[in-house]
């Protein structure tokens, strides 16, 4: 069940679907905040608030009538599904005719044995194209 503007956890500055985790945020009947969180305040993320694999948290501030928000994604690595990352020795940008980036897939931050890898790329039309088996020197 999502959070709507009728929910007790709704905050108009966070928007629909976002649950307000801050107990100090009190909104009156005219939807005005009557109590603010003090500057420099911290929030402790409890286990019950981060049970999903990917947890998005948002903070909102109001400055001179403008709302500024920032979202962070916190991953819960306590699940049995491995976390995959892809690292490129040339970064994420390169010139087509200069250099060849080497991509490394890491599982939970390392390169364990016993896993088989399958690489693909997405074409300009949005179709996944399988790449040939990777060798030590794939040129």
The 10s digit of each residue's pLDDT in 35-74 is 566 667 777 777 777 777 788 888 888 778 788 889 988 8
> What percent of the chain has pLDDT above 90?
1
Per-residue model confidence as pLDDT tens digits over 85-94: 888 988 888 7
From the list 11, 43, 14, 37, the residue with the least C-alpha distance to 24 is: 37
57 alpha carbon, distance to own chain's centre = 9
Residue-level pLDDT at 138 = 43
pTM of the model: 0.45
């Amino acid at each position: 069940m999502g959070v709507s503007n009728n929910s007790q956890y709704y905050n108009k500055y966070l928007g629909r679907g976002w649950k307000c985790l801050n107990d100090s945020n009190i909104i009156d009947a005219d939807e005005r905040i009557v109590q603010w969180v003090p500057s420099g305040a911290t929030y402790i993320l409890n286990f019950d608030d981060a049970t999903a694999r990917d947890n998005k948290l948002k903070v909102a501030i109001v400055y001179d009538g403008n709302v500024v928000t920032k979202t962070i994604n916190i991953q819960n690595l306590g699940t049995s599904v491995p976390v995959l990352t892809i690292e490129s020795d040339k970064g994420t940008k390169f010139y087509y005719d200069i250099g060849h980036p080497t991509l490394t897939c890491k599982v939970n931050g390392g390169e364990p044995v016993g896993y088989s890898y399958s690489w693909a790329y997405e074409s300009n039309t949005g179709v996944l194209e399988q790449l040939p088996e990777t060798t030590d020197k794939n040129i």
